[in-house]
């Protein structure tokens, strides 16, 4: 098998290789584990690597490969350390957060296993999936943040350590790290993926979702995680809206120029584009989103916070303290704001297949931050599906990303659009650490 298989091939092609006679899965997983062990001291993508469990899974799959192998047969995956995995504690980004091991897998982990995925371990999350930066580095440049909170999942994917990952988003925690690290992620429509066995941040904003190196694998994971057939790609020209407002005014001149160049290439490939003027009060939703997130974090952690606030790192503590000050009236206002905006903004999608906008407003900052979620938090607030794809390299060879957003429950159609975008625009090369 190619020494760098994850760099070159979508999963169905690799699956065919692993289904050949012999210990293909075991050899492949040993290769991945050795690579992780060599890179993790500097990259810091993994909370733990389950070498014994992964090799046991691989051997079992090799011995049973001709008994209706699943669609993810042999796929090495990472699980964000917010999800329960049987036999391991869910530390949620804080060492010593719990000593209790999970007694069963979360539903989404169970679905991955049943489809034939091999769990290599638990990837790093920022503490309690909030804003305090992790130890994880960006594989493209160790001086830049990988984003958060699904930091380890994004970094491990970019470094070709795994082919798929499980993450979650309350603000921008799937799509921002995917954009920064040059991979793909999907925040699905709110509520279509189960959240049992997942450490909550805010129950009314939390979205589990898949991450992958390419859009076709992202669609494959989405199908498994939702118990639906894998979305099919229908190559066609789409008509997409380009929302203005903060998505143009807050984007750096350099990234806006690249975005316009991408739109021009897509136009030449047959896409249609319509500029969309957002309501004048659109930016007020950011405060509504933050307040709902703060209120949810307080409700989740109030007992422990009141008992020992020193357990919580600074930015989580600030968020929870904000939540303590919010009245019921203010939270009702924020919820009504979400309802009102869903009703208004859905009208702006009429006649369009979705919206397309830059993946971020500026290149990833340094490691003292996880970046700004402003280009992603509106869709978490509204519960609309969002797909982030890396499409090229910009300044200092850092990845540049696009995102597509659609109306609720257009997830499958949105993945097809993302696949077509990716086929036209391409994707970044391997980052410096992603060479094995």
The three-state DSSP-derived secondary structure of 85-107 is CCCCECCCCCCCCCCCECCCCCH
pLDDT of residue 231 exceeding 50, the answer is yes
Among the options 65, 80, 137, 187, which is catalytic?
80
pLDDT of residue 234: 62
pLDDT of res. 3: 40
Q: Is residue 433 scored above 90 in pLDDT?
A: no
pLDDT in tens, 158-215: 999 999 999 999 999 999 999 999 999 999 999 999 999 999 999 999 999 999 999 9
pLDDT at 317 over 50: yes
Catalytic residue among 92, 106, 149, 422: 149
Q: What is the CA radius of gyration of the chain?
A: 20
Tokens of 274: 């319509």
Report the alpha-carbon distance of residue 391 to residue 181 in Å, rounded.
11
Asked if 149 is an active-site residue, the reply is yes
* Residue range 255-303, pLDDT digits in tens: 999 999 999 999 999 999 999 999 999 999 999 999 999 999 999 999 9
In percent, how much of the chain has pLDDT > 90?
Answer: 92
Q: Is the pLDDT of residue 232 over 50?
A: yes
- Residue 142 pLDDT level (bands cut at 50, 70, 90): very high
284 is catalytic: no
pLDDT at residue 4 above 90?
no
Average pLDDT, stretch 119-140? 98
Structure confidence at residue 1 as a pLDDT band (50, 70, 90): very low
Q: Is there a contact between 175 and 386 (Cβ–Cβ < 8 Å)? A: yes
Give pLDDT, residue 429. Answer: 83
Q: Round to whole Å and give the CA distance between 65 and 68.
A: 7
What is the pLDDT of the chain when averaged over all its residues? 95
Query: pLDDT confidence of 436, banded at 50, 70, 90?
Result: very low
The dihedral region occupied by 199, where left means phi > 0, alpha psi between -120 and 50, and beta the remainder, is beta
Residue-level pLDDT at 434: 47
Residue 2 has pLDDT above 70, yes or no: no
Q: Are β-strands 184-187 and 46-49 bridged in parallel, bridged antiparallel, or unpaired?
A: unpaired
Q: Which of 155, 152, 356 is nearest to 263 (CA)?
A: 356
Report, as an integer, the average pLDDT of 4-13: 80
Task: Write down the pLDDT at residue 235.
Answer: 58
249 carries an active-site annotation: no
pTM listed for this prediction: 0.97
Cβ atoms 32, 87 nearer than 8 A: no
What is the spatial distance between Cα 280 and Cα 50, in angstroms, rounded to a whole number?
50
């Amino acid at each position: 098998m190619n020494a760098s298989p994850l760099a070159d091939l979508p999963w169905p092609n690799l699956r065919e290789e692993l289904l050949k006679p012999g210990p293909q899965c075991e050899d492949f997983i040993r290769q991945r584990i050795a690579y992780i062990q060599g890179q993790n001291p500097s990259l810091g993508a993994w909370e733990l690597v389950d070498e014994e469990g992964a090799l046991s899974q691989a051997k079992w799959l090799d011995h049973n490969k001709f008994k209706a192998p699943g669609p993810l047969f042999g796929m090495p995956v990472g699980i964000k350390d917010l999800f329960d995995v049987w036999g391991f504690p869910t530390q949620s980004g804080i060492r010593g957060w719990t000593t209790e091991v999970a007694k069963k897998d979360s539903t989404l982990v169970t679905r991955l296993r049943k489809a034939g995925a091999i769990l290599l371990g638990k990837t790093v999350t920022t503490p309690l999936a909030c804003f305090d930066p992790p130890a994880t580095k960006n594989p493209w440049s160790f001086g830049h943040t990988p984003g958060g909170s699904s930091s380890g999942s994004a970094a491990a994917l970019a470094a070709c350590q795994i082919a798929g990952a499980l993450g979650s988003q309350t603000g921008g925690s799937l799509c921002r790290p995917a954009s920064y690290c040059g991979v793909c992620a999907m925040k699905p429509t709110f509520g279509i993926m189960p959240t049992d066995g997942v450490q909550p941040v805010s129950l009314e904003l939390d979205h589990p979702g898949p991450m992958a190196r390419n859009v076709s694998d992202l669609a494959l994971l989405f199908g498994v995680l939702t118990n639906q057939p894998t979305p099919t790609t229908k190559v066609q020209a789409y008509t997409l809206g380009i929302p203005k407002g903060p998505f143009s005014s807050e984007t750096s001149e350099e990234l806006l120029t690249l975005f316009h160049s991408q739109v021009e290439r897509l136009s030449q490939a047959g896409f249609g584009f319509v500029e969309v003027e957002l309501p004048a009060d659109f930016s007020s939703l950011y405060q509504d989103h933050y307040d709902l997130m703060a209120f949810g974090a307080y409700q989740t952690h109030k007992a422990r916070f009141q008992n020992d606030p020193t357990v919580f790192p600074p930015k989580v503590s600030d968020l929870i303290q904000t939540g303590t000050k919010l009245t019921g009236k203010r939270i009702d206002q924020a919820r009504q704001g979400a309802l009102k905006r869903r009703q208004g903004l859905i009208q702006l999608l009429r006649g369009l297949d979705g919206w397309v906008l830059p993946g971020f407003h500026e290149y990833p900052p340094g490691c003292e931050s996880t970046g700004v979620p402003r280009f992603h938090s509106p869709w978490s607030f509204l519960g609309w599906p969002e797909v982030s794809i890396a499409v090229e390299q910009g300044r200092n060879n850092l990845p540049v990303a696009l995102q597509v957003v659609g109306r609720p429950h257009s997830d499958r159609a949105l993945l097809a659009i993302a696949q077509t975008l990716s086929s036209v625009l391409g994707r970044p090369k391997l980052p410096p650490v992603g060479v094995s």
